[in-house]
Structure formats: C-alpha cells, structure tokens
Amino acid sequence: MTARLVAGKVLGALGTLAFVVVFNFFLFRVVESNPVATLYRGRNLTDAQREELTRQFGLDGSKLEQFWRYMEQTLQLNFGRSYATNQPVIDEIWAATPQTLALVGTSTVLAMAIGLAMGVVAGWRRGTAHDRVLTGISIVTWSTPEFWLGMLLLTVFAVDLGLFPTGGISDPSGPDGGLGELLDQAHHMALPCLTLTIAYLGEYALIMRSSIIDVAREDYLTLARAKGLRDAQVRDRHALRNALLPSTTLIALSFGFVLSGAITVETVFSWPGLGLLTYESLRGPDLPMLQGLFLLFSAAVIVFNLAAELLYPYLDPRVRAR
C-alpha cells in the first residue's frame, strides 16, 4: 500500500470524525430541553440563581454562540460539565472506561475464542450432528436479548444458588488493595462477563462457519490432502488461515464497539462503566455527557475501522496487489 493511500484513508477517517463532532451538537439539540427547569421543578429559585444555573449549564447566549463555544471546547478535549453531577464530562468518562474495557474486552476475547472454535468445527463437519448442535446454539444465543439472559443468569446464579453477587464491581466491605481486591472484582465480573460472552459468541461462530464452508471446496485443500496431511493439519494450516480473513473485519469492528457495547448488561448488573453512564445520561437527558460519550464511541469505531482497512492488505496479499 502506498503512503498516499494510507494518508487518504487517515484523512477520510479524520473527516468522518469532524462530521461526527458537528453533527453531535445538532443531534442533541433536536430535543428542546431546559435542564434548569426539569431539575429544579418546584424550587422557588431567585432570578439570579436561575441565570447562574443557566450559565453553568452553558445554555446562555444564542444557538450560534453555543455552537462556537462547543467547538472551541471540544477541540481542547473539554466536553463541558455534566448536568447531573456538575463534574467535568471527561473525568466521568475516564473514570468509567476501565470497567467497561475490562468487562467487554474480556467478554469479546472469550466470545471470539469460543465462537471461532465453534464455527471451525461446525463448518468443517458441515451437516453432521456436531454442526447442527453448534449452529443451533449459535443461533439461539445470538438471538437471545442480552438483558434477558443477564436477568436469567442473575436469578439462577446470584439469587437461587448464591454463587455470585447481584451486582456492582466490588464488595464495599471487602478486601482493599492487592490480590484480594482483584479477585473480589473478578468475582463481581463473572456473571456479566458470562452473559456477554454467551451473547457475542454466536455471531463469530456463524461467520466462521460460513467462511470455512466457503474455503472447504477450494482446490488447494484437495492438494493438501493429496500430500497426505492429516485432516486436522489440513484444517488448521490451510483452511483456517484463509477462512480467518472475513473474520478480521468483524474482529476489528468488534473492538470498535467494545466501549459502547454493553448498555443493557451493565445496567442489569449495576456495572459502573460507560454503558451504564450512557443509560443514566439518557434518562436526564444529560446532554453534555451524551455528547461526550457519542463522540468517544464514534471515534472508537472510526479508529478500528481504519485499523482494519490498513491491516487487511498485510493479511491478504491479494488486496495489496490490486
């Protein structure tokens, strides 16, 4: 790939991002909302207090002035203050990010590993009992609503069996610091992580299965078998490598959605990450927070898309040649 092509793709991504920044401002102003009135209903505020609150919320001045202020601040990575907590949006988002990375990141990796393995087995033995069972599982788990699955697991494992806590990220009176705290957090993460893993793996399995089926008819596999390779070797060295290509895009895109991926599950398990923050902000609505979150989510998707595009030629020389 030439430097020019790379530069073009990067510029394209930047352009998309710039569009998102501008679009964000208008998107969240379609709904006319007066947070001062909503938050302080029934409180007889003095005029000075109302003006001060309106100024704090950044709602003074005309729409155009607000827009310039928004652009200026956003370029300095300042997303304003949350309506709900009056704290800088960026601080709240950073505080919630590690939890989401841990939960959704782990689930995504687990779901990938399990799902891709399932897909390989099902595709390689197309039409057998193995295939029917694995494909059945994939379709069922893929179409199960995450929050429902979460509630189900919560009821069974947390309430009936008492194996896991009902939510949160740590035990308030649990161990502080060190391995104990880490294990406590892992214990809290197990159920939401299991939920997401089950919810995600079907997609990987189904895509992997169809990729394997596609390559299974290729001549080079016949050649490999003719060379006298064992079935597992043919599958792992020859079929799998080629079949992985379509999954690469999916994997890259999945990582783009890691940040925004778990709104309902985080809510079910009171997991204080970005998904829960989104859910809470939508109820306000806490516009500066939503603006910040949407920008972050869009940026993540754009960046990983770009990564996939740049990576693909290295994985598949045919693309490079074209």
| Binding letters toward another protein, positions 59-88, x by CB under 8 A | -------------------------xxxx-
Residue of the chain from 164, 200, 255, 297 that contacts another protein (CB under 8 A): 164
For the bound state, the minimum distance from the C-beta of residue 255 to another protein, rounded and expressed in Å, comes to 17
Radius of gyration of the chain measured on its C-alpha atoms? 24
Q: Cα–Cα–Cα angle for 174, 176, 182, nearest 5°?
A: 85
173 binding another protein? (CB under 8 A)? yes
238 binding another protein? (CB under 8 A)? no
Contact in structure between 118 and 201 (CB atoms under 8 Å): yes
- Region of 229 please: left (phi>0), alpha (psi -120 to 50) or beta: beta
174 binding another protein? (CB under 8 A)? yes
Q: What is the rounded end-to-end Cα distance, in angstroms, of the chain?
A: 9
Site for another protein in 283-302 (CB under 8 A): 283
Our CB check for another protein shows the closer of 174 and 313 to be: 174
Residue of the chain from 89, 122, 213, 276 that contacts another protein (CB under 8 A): 276
Cα separation, 192 vs 199, in Å, equals 10
For the bound state, the minimum distance from the C-beta of residue 79 to another protein, rounded and expressed in Å, comes to 16
What lies within 8 Å, CB to CB, of 120 at 6+ separation is: 208, 209, 212, 235, 240, 243
Our CB check for another protein shows the closer of 5 and 163 to be: 163
Cα separation, 59 vs 50, in Å, equals 11
Our CB check for another protein shows the closer of 256 and 272 to be: 272
| Binding letters toward another protein, positions 194-233, x by CB under 8 A | x-----------------------------------xxx-
Query: Is the preceding omega at residue 288 within 30 degrees of 0, hence cis?
Result: no
For the bound state, the minimum distance from the C-beta of residue 151 to another protein, rounded and expressed in Å, comes to 7
Residue of the chain from 23, 26, 49, 98 that contacts another protein (CB under 8 A): 49
For the bound state, the minimum distance from the C-beta of residue 86 to another protein, rounded and expressed in Å, comes to 6
The residue written with tokens 């989401």 in the block is: 100
Which two tokens mark 40?
A: 């302080």
For the bound state, the minimum distance from the C-beta of residue 74 to another protein, rounded and expressed in Å, comes to 21
39 binding another protein? (CB under 8 A)? yes
Site for another protein in 138-157 (CB under 8 A): 151, 154-155
Q: How many residues does the chain have?
A: 322
Half-sphere exposure of 145 (CA within 13 A, CB side): 7
> Residue count at the site for another protein (CB under 8 A)?
81
For the bound state, the minimum distance from the C-beta of residue 254 to another protein, rounded and expressed in Å, comes to 16
What lies within 8 Å, CB to CB, of 122 at 6+ separation is: 130, 131, 134, 135, 138, 205, 209, 212
177 binding another protein? (CB under 8 A)? no
Which two tokens mark 271?
A: 């997991």
Residue of the chain from 12, 16, 29, 184 that contacts another protein (CB under 8 A): 184
